[in-house]
Amino acid sequence: MVIFNKKYFIMLLSILTLSFLLVACGGDDEEGTDEGNTGEEDTGEGSEDAAGDFEEDSWQFVTEELQGEVQYEYAAEFANRISEKTGGAITVEPLEYGSLGSSVDQAQLLQQGGVQLAAMSPGFTGGQVQDGQIFSLHYFFPSDQEQVQEILTNSEALNQDLRAKYEEHSISPLSYWTEGEMAWTSNVGIESPSDWEGLNMRVQESPLMRESYDAYGATVQALDWGELYTALDRETVDAQENPIFFIESASFHEVQDTVTISHHNNYVAMTTANTEWYNGLDENVKQVVDETVEEMQEWVFEEQLSQNEAGLEAIEADTDNPTEIIELDEDQIAEFREVAEPVHQYYRDEVEGIDQAIFDKLQEEIAEVMGE
Ligand code: 6CS
């Protein structure tokens, strides 16, 4: 009995060992097959294997803002996500404002392919891409930022038709997003259109911005934001518009007595790629870029929201530089609208090179989102 058991035990051990070896070999085979499948179906999301699917590359992503500000933080987050999705094969270097010249220089650099990616404000190419000036119209987009984001994300007029216009100039807007509502800063405290009389307003390089402020009776001066603090301090310009986070971050409130919450417009930024570079990307890389840009819409919405909230709190808490915050009421806004709305029609009917179909389509899309 004991002997049988010993034999039986040895036999059983042999069978188990053999089975283990067979399973192990079979397992290897199966794993090999799985790996093959995974490789083919890999979405590229963060796996080490993803590196094998992507050739090593490095891109530059230039922004018009400094570290900590919305555009730069966007580029940094984008860089992290691209690196993660490509298993570290592709690195993206975020660049802050000033590292490659002025905002206009940066736009030109993107167009020439000197950088692959840029966060770009339409205001700096308004002279070239006439239709991009639609973002300069006052009281055209809603004031509700959720609605603005919905329009920017889903609009066909913007994401297809306007994109095609930009692409004629080697700029591919992959997405449009809001950096928040813009407010006016000044020393006079702007509460009605007549308060603009005699003020010199700082604008970006967009001819339509001139028309918008001309309608209120102001003069305008195009200036890069890097020169704006000094210009306001020396009173060579009297007023400017920007989202609250940027007013605080660039310290414009230190050299201006008032901030007017006017609800007149939003600060729209675009994630852009050089068109020839983007079109030449391998399909799997293009897919990762598109997917990341899409995901970033929600991320950047939350980012601007928290930066704008923090900016307002910081301005209010800055007792060394007291700033009066004026919020326009409905009647005051109606006064501004009355003067601003004819500029919409002027833009549509008079500005040379405008595609009226884009204006009409976008106007309809806006009305739909606003439930009008
Ligand atoms: O006013 C400007 O020119 C700057 N404002 C913002 C919010 N971002 C960069 C831009 O160049």
Give Cα 367 distance to the centre of its chain. Answer: 23
Q: What is the mean pLDDT of residues 100-115?
A: 97
Cα(122) to centroid of ligand 1, in Å?
A: 10
Pocket perturbation via mutation, ligand 1, pick of 105, 121, 185 by most ligand atoms within 8 A of CB: 121
Residue closest via CA to ligand 1's atom 2 equals 225
Q: 332-338 — which CB contacts under 8 Å span 24+ positions?
A: 332/191, 332/192, 333/139, 333/262, 333/263, 335/192, 335/193, 336/138, 336/139, 336/192, 336/193, 336/216, 336/262, 336/264, 337/139
| 132 close to 122: Cβ distance less than 8 angstroms | yes
Q: What is the pLDDT of residue 27?
A: 34
Q: Which atom of ligand 1 approaches the CA of 225 most closely?
A: 3
Burial class (CB in 10 A: 0-12, 13-18, 19+), 349: exposed
Q: How far apart (Å, rounded) are the C-alpha atoms in residues 221 and 218?
A: 10
Q: What is the mean pLDDT of residues 154-170?
A: 98
- Residue 241 domain boundaries: 55-369
SS3 content of the chain, % helix, strand, coil (to 5): 55, 15, 25
- Residue 39 falls inside a structural domain: no
Q: Which atom of ligand 1 approaches the CA of 63 most closely?
A: 9
Record the tokens describing residue 298, joined without a space: 């929600």
Q: What is the mean pLDDT of residues 104-126?
A: 96
Record the tokens describing residue 44, joined without a space: 């590229």
Cα(118) to centroid of ligand 1, in Å?
A: 13
The finding on whether 267 has its CB within 6 A of some atom of ligand 1 is: yes
The finding on whether 225 has its CB within 6 A of some atom of ligand 1 is: yes
Q: How far apart (Å, rounded) are the C-alpha atoms in residues 204 and 123?
A: 5
- Residue 18 falls inside a structural domain: no
Cα(235) to centroid of ligand 1, in Å?
A: 19
The finding on whether 204 has its CB within 6 A of some atom of ligand 1 is: yes
**168-177 pLDDT, tens per residue?**
999 999 999 9
How is 194-230 classified by DSSP, letter by letter?
A: GGGTT-EEEE-S-HHHHHHHHHHT-EEEE--GGGHHH
Strand locations in the chain (E): 57-62, 90-95, 117-120, 171-186, 200-203, 219-222, 240-243, 258-261, 266-274, 324-327
Query: Which sign, positive or negative, has the C-alpha torsion 326, 327, 329, 331?
Result: positive
- Residue 249 falls inside a structural domain: yes
Cα(224) to centroid of ligand 1, in Å?
A: 8
Residues above pLDDT 70, as percent of the chain: 86
Predicted model pTM: 0.87
CATH number of the domain bearing residue 123: 3.40.190.170
Residue closest via CA to ligand 1's atom 1 equals 225
The finding on whether 332 has its CB within 6 A of some atom of ligand 1 is: no
Q: What is the pLDDT of residue 73?
A: 98
- Residue 326 falls inside a structural domain: yes
**251-284 pLDDT, tens per residue?**
999 999 999 999 999 999 999 999 999 999 999 9
Instruction: Return the H-helix or E-strand segment holding 102.
Output: none
- Residue 45 falls inside a structural domain: no
Record the tokens describing residue 97, joined without a space: 């404002």
Q: What amino acid is encoded at 256 in this protein?
A: Q
Q: How far apart (Å, rounded) are the C-alpha atoms in residues 30 and 38?
A: 12
Pocket perturbation via mutation, ligand 1, pick of 242, 248, 251, 271 by most ligand atoms within 8 A of CB: 242
Q: What amino acid is encoded at 353 in this protein?
A: G
Name the pLDDT band for 19 (thresholds 50, 70, 90).
very low
**237-251 pLDDT, tens per residue?**
999 999 999 999 999
Widest distance between CA atoms in the chain: 114
Residue closest via CA to ligand 1's atom 11 equals 64
- Residue 345 falls inside a structural domain: yes
- Residue 47 falls inside a structural domain: no
Q: What is the pLDDT of residue 22?
A: 33
Total structural domains in the chain? 1
Residue 350 scores a pLDDT above 90: yes
Q: What is the pLDDT of residue 50?
A: 66
Task: Please choose, from the candidates 77, 46, 86, the residue with its C-alpha nearest in 3D space to the C-alpha of residue 286.
Answer: 86
- Residue 204 falls inside a structural domain: yes
**64-95 pLDDT, tens per residue?**
999 999 999 999 999 999 999 999 999 999 99
The finding on whether 103 has its CB within 6 A of some atom of ligand 1 is: yes
